[in-house]
Amino acid sequence: MGFTAQTIEELKARAKRRVPRMFFDYADSGSWTQSTYFANEADFSKIMFRQRVAVDMTNRSLASTMIGQDVAMPVAIAPTGFGGMQHPDGEILGAKVARAFGIPFTLSTMSICSIEDVAEATDGAPFWFQLYVMRDRQFMYNLIDRAKAANCSALVLTLDLQILGQRHKDARNGLSAPPRVNLNTIWQLASRPQWCLSMLRTRRHTFRNIVGHADNVGDISSLASWTAEQFDPKLNWSDIEWIKERWGGKLILKGIMDAEDARMAAASGADAIIVSNHGGRQLDGAPSSIAALPGIIEAVGDKIEVHMDGGIRSGQDVMRALCLGAKGVYIGRPWLYGLGAGGEAGVEQALDIIRRELDVTMALCGERDIRNVGEHNLINPGVFSS
């Protein structure tokens, strides 16, 4: 892409210059005061590494497993809506890069590219699919069946979006896919002519998992209106049973931030949980994901595989989460920043940055195998203890 970033922050700055404000802000904002969104990033800096010297650093390996699946490093691309609005065919590009790097790609229900689009573009290679619980049960049945037909190897069920958080920037920007035509959006698009020209080269401009598949939905004008109509506020633990039965494969529960909920999740028969506050876009004032992780590891770490997302902006952050007990992490904003900064090449740079930083940090902590890292690699592993 003619640009080489050294950090995720550099990709973020480039994406901000290239992507219309409504879509950049969607990727780069939290709910209400954004206190949880900012805490997700800031709290990682409280965790201090234990540096070791004069140890053999040759033959290092980042290879591991997540829910029994071999991964080149314990990192997955998180499910994020509007990926295809950061860059044309964004989810397709993300899935291709993830496959090349040997890590899982998770497609969101609210993606611009459909399940079938991604499956066709990756020649049927397995990827993961994220599901919301919606009032239209037949639509959900069909989504699950479509994911099975597309060779998805895991279902990620999001539990923390029964109602939409107070996302003020999205409301002010008039977020929609495709963009609505008014003075606000016209100005935003006019200021990003290169983005507009690139979007003319794809037919994928709306929520293709939904449009043409849900009853009486020929077009989706905004995420907010769909959410208000379809996301099910009655979601409860009994729903997991029928979803698991319908799916029949690996099931991951996303949105766990409380030890009691973690115990309920472990008892549900799921294969893993994701400690996640939805990137700070739901309950503002909740703790950061990394601060919640140790308590959940203590409660259920011996009963179910625990993953986490939220605030990871470097390979060092990945290392910190793994040292505190996570078996895998998910990156949402970093891959979106890479996508907005330079499409496929930008995503490659984002993953390469994460991988390189993780490898160097592991080595300087005196480890050669990522599966062996733990609290012994930290000076203050109890920093988030209550």
Gyration radius of the chain's alpha carbons: 20
Q: Which of 155, 76, 166 is nearest to 109 (CA)?
A: 155
Phi/psi at 148 (nearest 5 deg)? -65, -45
Say if strands 75-77 and 128-131 run parallel, antiparallel, or are unpaired.
unpaired
The pLDDT assigned to 41 comes to 98
The active-site residue, picked from 213, 278, 307, 376, is 278
Catalytic residue status for 278:
yes
Query: What pTM was estimated for this model as a whole?
Result: 0.95
Angle, CA 72 vertex, CA 143 and CA 65 arms, to 5°: 65
The pLDDT assigned to 157 comes to 98
Q: Three-state SS across the chain?
A: CCCCCCCHHHHHHHHHHHCCHHHHHHHCCCCCCCHHHHHHHHHHHHCCECCCCCCCCCCCECCEEECCEEECCCEEECCCCCHHHHCCCHHHHHHHHHHHHCCCEEECCCCCCCHHHHHHHCCCCCCEEEECCECCHHHHHHHHHHHHHCCCCEEEEECCCCCCCCCHHHHHHCCCCCCCCCHHHHHHHHCCHHHHHHHCCCCCCCCCCCCCCCCCCCCCCCHHHHHHHHECCCCCCHHHHHHHHHHCCEEEEEEECCHHHHHHHHHCCCCEEEECCHHHCCCCCCCCHHHHHHHHHHHHCCCCEEEEECCCCCHHHHHHHHHCCCCEEEECHHHHHHHHHHHHHHHHHHHHHHHHHHHHHHHHCCCCEHHHCCHHHECCCCCCCC
The pLDDT assigned to 368 comes to 98
In DSSP terms, which residues pair with 254 in a beta bridge? 158, 274
Angle, CA 240 vertex, CA 258 and CA 265 arms, to 5°: 25
Instruction: Encode the chain (386 residues) as per-residue pLDDT tens digits.
Output: 788 999 999 999 999 999 999 999 999 999 999 999 999 999 999 999 999 999 999 999 999 999 999 999 999 999 999 999 999 999 999 999 999 999 999 999 999 999 999 999 999 899 999 999 999 899 999 999 999 999 999 999 999 998 888 999 888 888 877 888 888 888 999 999 999 999 999 999 988 998 888 776 544 444 456 556 788 889 999 999 999 999 999 999 999 999 999 999 999 999 999 999 999 999 999 999 999 999 999 999 999 999 999 999 999 999 999 999 999 999 999 999 999 999 999 999 999 999 999 999 999 999 999 999 999 999 999 999 86
The pLDDT assigned to 146 comes to 98
The pLDDT assigned to 220 comes to 45
The pLDDT assigned to 178 comes to 80
8 A C-beta contact, residue 335 and residue 343: no
For the domain spanning 8-377, the CATH number is 3.20.20.70
